[in-house]
Amino acid sequence: MRVACDVVAFSLISTIFAGALADGSVLARAFCVFLAQFWTPRLAVATFVFNMEPYLTSRLWRAGYAAMNVVFCVPAPRVHAGSAPAAMVALSRFGGRFRIHDRSGAMRQETRTVTLSIAAAQDRDVLYQMRHQVYASELHQHPENAAGRLTDPLDEFNTYLVAKDGDEIAGFVAITPPTERGYSVDKYFTRDQVPVAFDRALYEVRLLTVNSRYRRSGIALLLMFGALRFVEAHGGQMIVAIGRIDVLHMYERAGLVPLGLQTTSGSVVYELMSASVEHLRAHLQAFAGSLERLERTVDWRLDGVSWNDAARCQHGGAFFEAIGDEFDALERRHRVINADVLDAWFDPAPAVVEKLARDLPFVMKTSPPTEASGMRRAIARARGVPESSILPGAGSSALIFAALRQWVTRASRVLILDPMYGEYAHVLEQVIGARVDRFRLSAERDYEVDPTELAALASQGFDWVVLVNPNSPSGRHVRHSDLARVIASAPETTRFWIDETYVDYVGSEQSLERMAASSANVVICKSMSKVYALSGLRAAYLCGPARLLADLSHVCPPWAVSLPAQLAACEALKATAYYRKRWDETHALRAELQWGLQALGWQVVTGCANFLLCQVPADGPTSSEVIAEARRNGLFVRDVRSMGVCFDERALRIAVKDRRANAAMLAILRAAASSRQSLSDQVPSKLETPPGIIERHKIEGERQQQDARWCRNEPP
């Protein structure tokens, strides 16, 4: 009796959760292996060892036993259809094979090389016939027609990706790029119903179709991945799609978010879905194993689209789509708020602007000093370190790529924070292929880095420990004194890379530059973009052991830092009073913004720099929805999922702006978070600073002063 119950339970589980069991996840594979272990010995025992005859005393028992064997042995009955294919698919993925149905409908598992390419003109006819077969004959979305082909006006400019097994089409998907001629969703919904910006960044993915012989074989995943890569490679940022409600779970698993709008076409009900490319990319982590295996078997022939977007890390900067990246109408910048990047809310010091403006033609036409030697001297003077400890660069991104590729190898073991500025994980894992461990920070502790835990991890013999301090996107800071102790306790062979892009917001005394210059294993990476308002010019430097930097300078090109950047950097370093004032003002602006966001019911991490990490409430729109809606109103904020595995679909990051822009941001976000209503009545007339936040900042300020005294070896 118990065995019978087990059989029925397993069959039901296999049938109901067939999709989940076929997804290739570790749990699914483990369960399928367990099922296989259960069935195989049972069949062997029942056939060769154990004689059931004496126990089958009544007709009922005999019938039950026969039915159980039918359920168990014959793959055709519905009740068994779930577990066998699921188990085979899951197991077949171990071998990177494709499972297909042969022409009689039986299943075969074969090693095949499937080709993914852009459909050629001669493929189109077959695709249109397949569309007819599936959408007219099978699903009755459209009436069948005598020609046996389905096509529509979008096909004139759609791209079809096609997966082929030899000459046979295993599946296809269509991609509609942004043009004046619209999208397929326009047939079903009016644009004001759809909470997505219909702009140059929007692509539609449709008609995901898998030949019945290849269903549940990994072809659907391959096509969805191909479509995402195609959109990404063409600069798309947002995807809209409609999906049949009976397979909605598949799209949701892929990361598409249902928007609660449905439409009926013939006998088929579709749900409208969307997601940002960034969100979908973050979701890919769930399919990492399956994709790795597919990568080995698929012949990828998508011209101009690589399998792996190793060339890219996700960044902000989408606002340039609204302004125009050929800069024909720069005045459009007044219509957008670029809070998706962390550029300074203030201008460069007047002396910097004046200096550049005064001699602009000369500055533009003249080759800069080859090694930026004057800039190097000015930085060394300002920081109180020897010149040989400074290496200037054209923005810290250039230095990150140059230095880490020089110093870190595939064999290196590196520790990074999670979450953290995404470029590091990208360069270390994707570009270099190093072995990266993550120190997972928790939302419950506001992503605070515990120095004791960090010291324990850092003592484990890593080649590099890479930190951003203060960290982005959390805005949390580890005190100079605590970090110095972590470094001191780590093995001498462990090198530390500390990105101090935002350190001046906490206090310039918090920098570890002096310590780095006199150390053998600490490198500080300092961008001059954010705190000196020079993002557009590209200026940064490394500060660290002279020998290390000298080695690196040999592989750096001449004239790497432009003349305007060198000149502005030298001048900015003199304008300390101006910048200090702006950094101080930032704290008040951030506190006001934080209060305003909390008043919307958002959870906000108390940061210390010019940005805030937020969590939108669980009962409202997701961060992708808020971001999309805000973007329609000219506000660009950042989806942070690519910066940490810890984030769900509720996290986003907002840059602090000046008081007016902060007020406008709050109005837009309030509207985006509540509904899609008009903004005219939402602009708050006045923002007040809550006493609690101010108090907290006072405490942080006192702590900073204590640290500053510590740096100067003064008594606390």
Ligand X SMILES: Cc1ncc(COP(=O)(O)O)c(C=O)c1O
Q: Tell me which residues touch ligand X (CB under 6 A).
A: 342, 395-397, 421, 468, 472, 499, 501, 527, 529, 535, 540
With CA atoms as reference, report the closest residue to 668 among 637, 622, 706: 637
Three-state SS at 465: strand
Task: Sort strands 159-165 and 202-210 into parallel, antiparallel or unpaired.
Answer: unpaired
Measure the CA–CA gap between 175 and 18, rounded to whole angstroms: 29
Measure the CA–CA gap between 95 and 412, rounded to whole angstroms: 29
241 or 540: CB nearest ligand X? 540
Residue 40 Cβ, how far from ligand X at the closest point, in Å? 54
255 or 368: CB nearest ligand X? 368
Alpha helices in 255-359 (DSSP H): 277-283, 288-297, 319-323, 350-358
**Tokens (6 digits) for 547:** 């020998």
Q: Phi and psi at residue 634, in whole multiples of 5°? A: 85, 5
Answer whether 423's CB lies under 8 Å from 400's CB: yes
Residue 504 Cβ, how far from ligand X at the closest point, in Å? 13
Measure the CA–CA gap between 66 and 445, rounded to whole angstroms: 59
Measure the CA–CA gap between 330 and 326, rounded to whole angstroms: 9
201 or 427: CB nearest ligand X? 427
Q: Count the neighbouring beta carbons within 10 Å of the beta carbon of residue 45.
A: 11
Check whether the bond before 177 is cis (ω within 30° of 0). Answer: no
Residue 597 Cβ, how far from ligand X at the closest point, in Å? 20
Residue 397 Cβ, how far from ligand X at the closest point, in Å? 3
Answer whether 69's CB lies under 8 Å from 79's CB: no
Integer angstrom CA distances of residue 12 from 17, 80, 82, 198, 357: 8, 8, 8, 44, 75
Residue 540 Cβ, how far from ligand X at the closest point, in Å? 4
Alpha helices in 490-556 (DSSP H): 513-518, 546-553
Answer whether 375's CB lies under 8 Å from 560's CB: no
Integer angstrom CA distances of residue 655 from 143, 342, 434, 580: 52, 5, 31, 19
Rounded to 10°, the helix 83-94/26-44 angle is: 120
421 or 505: CB nearest ligand X? 421
Residue 514 Cβ, how far from ligand X at the closest point, in Å? 20
Residue 517 Cβ, how far from ligand X at the closest point, in Å? 20
535 or 662: CB nearest ligand X? 535
**Tokens (6 digits) for 427:** 């360069």
Cross-strand partners of 416 = 438, 466
209 or 511: CB nearest ligand X? 511
Residue 477 Cβ, how far from ligand X at the closest point, in Å? 12
Q: How far is CA 281 from the centre of its chain?
A: 5
Which DSSP category does 246 fall into?
A: G
Cross-strand partners of 524 = 498, 543
7 or 643: CB nearest ligand X? 643
Measure the CA–CA gap between 604 and 319, rounded to whole angstroms: 23
Three-state SS at 413: strand
Residue 468 Cβ, how far from ligand X at the closest point, in Å? 4
Q: Phi and psi at residue 291, in whole multiples of 5°? A: -70, -35
14 or 396: CB nearest ligand X? 396
Residue 401 Cβ, how far from ligand X at the closest point, in Å? 10
Measure the CA–CA gap between 683 and 381, rounded to whole angstroms: 47
258 or 317: CB nearest ligand X? 317
**Tokens (6 digits) for 458:** 């850092």
Task: Sort strands 495-499 and 522-527 into parallel, antiparallel or unpaired.
Answer: parallel
396 or 474: CB nearest ligand X? 396
Check whether the bond before 684 is cis (ω within 30° of 0). Answer: no
Measure the CA–CA gap between 231 and 208, rounded to whole angstroms: 15
Question: Which residue's Cβ lies closest to ligand X?
Answer: 527
Which DSSP category does 542 fall into?
A: E
203 or 505: CB nearest ligand X? 505
Task: Sort strands 540-543 and 522-527 into parallel, antiparallel or unpaired.
Answer: antiparallel
Residue 336 Cβ, how far from ligand X at the closest point, in Å? 18
**Tokens (6 digits) for 187:** 């047939």
495 or 638: CB nearest ligand X? 638
83 or 474: CB nearest ligand X? 474
Measure the CA–CA gap between 228 and 236, rounded to whole angstroms: 9
Residue 519 Cβ, how far from ligand X at the closest point, in Å? 21
Residue 395 Cβ, how far from ligand X at the closest point, in Å? 3
| Sequence-separated (6 or more) residues with CB below 8 Å from residue 222 | 114, 116, 163, 171, 294, 298
Residue 675 Cβ, how far from ligand X at the closest point, in Å? 32
Residue 434 Cβ, how far from ligand X at the closest point, in Å? 18
513 or 625: CB nearest ligand X? 513
Residue 211 Cβ, how far from ligand X at the closest point, in Å? 45
92 or 529: CB nearest ligand X? 529
Answer whether 259's CB lies under 8 Å from 274's CB: yes
392 or 596: CB nearest ligand X? 392
Residue 416 Cβ, how far from ligand X at the closest point, in Å? 12
Integer angstrom CA distances of residue 402 from 160, 388, 425, 565: 38, 18, 15, 19
396 or 642: CB nearest ligand X? 396
